[in-house]
């Protein structure tokens, strides 16, 4: 008479079952990680106080367009087919060229000609660190300092205003840029710095 051996199931978890839980855990962690990264990229950034948004400025080239000095600089629109080279200018630049630079992603920082020299130097120091910024006086400007990107503008009273750096960080070749990848040199004008 032969004795049959009875097979019994192992009392602990099997290797296959362990591997399944490891895979499920790894996938769950990966999904949570991707979700967090997505959250970081799509969450709304805090708005910069005082921003004025101009809805969809017109675009196109017209070499006869002229923007008069005074008030605030233009924040987009029809412009000359030649852009302004980015950099520092001690004399006013023509709006028709600066607007084209903004279409390429530049921020145009203008100041009232009577702004104190130490504040102008502070603005120049900021611009020297950037490649897509224009700095120039704007005659009869109604605010001491104005930062303008395509369709967006911010007026501030002092070069010490922290919103200047926020604006530069957010809008230099920012999400508002109609022609990403375009250049801000090989245009018109010779910057002094």
Please provide the DSSP assignment of 28-84 as one string: HHHHHHHHHHHHHHHSPPPPPTT-EE-SS----B-TT----SSBS---SSSB-SSPB
Considering the domain boundaries, does residue 129 fall inside one? Answer: yes
Residues 28 and 109 in one domain: no
Residues 84 and 155 in one domain: yes
Residues 27 and 99 in one domain: no
Domain that holds residue 101: 52-171
Is pLDDT of 188 > 80?
A: yes
> Residue 92's domain is classified under what CATH number?
3.40.30
Considering the domain boundaries, does residue 185 fall inside one? Answer: no
Residues 135 and 163 in one domain: yes
Residues 29 and 98 in one domain: no
φ and ψ at 12, to 5 degrees?
A: -105, 175
Q: Which of 174, 49, 157, 48 is nearest to 104 (CA)?
A: 174
126-157 pLDDT per residue, tens: 999 888 999 999 999 999 999 999 999 999 99
Residues 63 and 127 in one domain: yes
> Per DSSP, what are the bridge partners of residue 133?
107
How many structural domains comprise the chain? 2
16-71 pLDDT per residue, tens: 677 888 887 777 777 777 776 666 565 555 689 999 998 877 788 888 888 887 78
Residues 36 and 63 in one domain: no
SS3 content of the chain, % helix, strand, coil (to 5): 30, 15, 55
The residues, any chain, with a CB within 8 Å of residue 120's CB and separated by 6 or more, are 111, 159
Considering the domain boundaries, does residue 57 fall inside one? Answer: yes
State the Cα–Cα distance between residues 90 and 99, nearest whole angstrom.
18
Considering the domain boundaries, does residue 69 fall inside one? Answer: yes
State the Cα–Cα distance between residues 92 and 94, nearest whole angstrom.
7
Considering the domain boundaries, does residue 96 fall inside one? Answer: yes
State the Cα–Cα distance between residues 84 and 91, nearest whole angstrom.
13
pTM of the model: 0.75
């Amino acid at each position: 008479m032969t004795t049959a051996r009875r097979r019994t199931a192992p009392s602990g978890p099997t290797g296959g079952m362990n591997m399944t839980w490891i895979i499920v855990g790894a996938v769950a962690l990966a999904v949570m990680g991707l979700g967090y990264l997505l959250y970081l990229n799509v969450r709304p950034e805090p708005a910069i106080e005082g921003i004025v948004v101009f809805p969809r400025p017109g675009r196109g080239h017209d070499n006869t367009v002229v923007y008069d000095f005074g008030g605030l600089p233009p924040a987009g629109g029809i412009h000359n087919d030649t852009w302004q080279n980015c950099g520092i200018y001690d004399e006013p630049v023509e709006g028709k060229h600066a607007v084209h630079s903004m279409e390429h992603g530049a921020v145009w920082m203008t100041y009232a000609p009577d702004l104190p020299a130490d504040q102008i130097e502070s603005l120049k120091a900021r611009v020297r660190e950037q490649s897509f910024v224009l700095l120039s006086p704007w005659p009869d400007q109604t605010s001491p300092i104005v930062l303008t990107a395509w369709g967006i503008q911010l007026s501030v009273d002092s070069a010490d205003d922290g919103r200047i750096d926020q604006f530069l960080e957010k809008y230099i070749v920012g999400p508002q840029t109609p022609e990403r990848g375009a250049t801000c040199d090989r245009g018109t004008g010779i910057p002094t710095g």
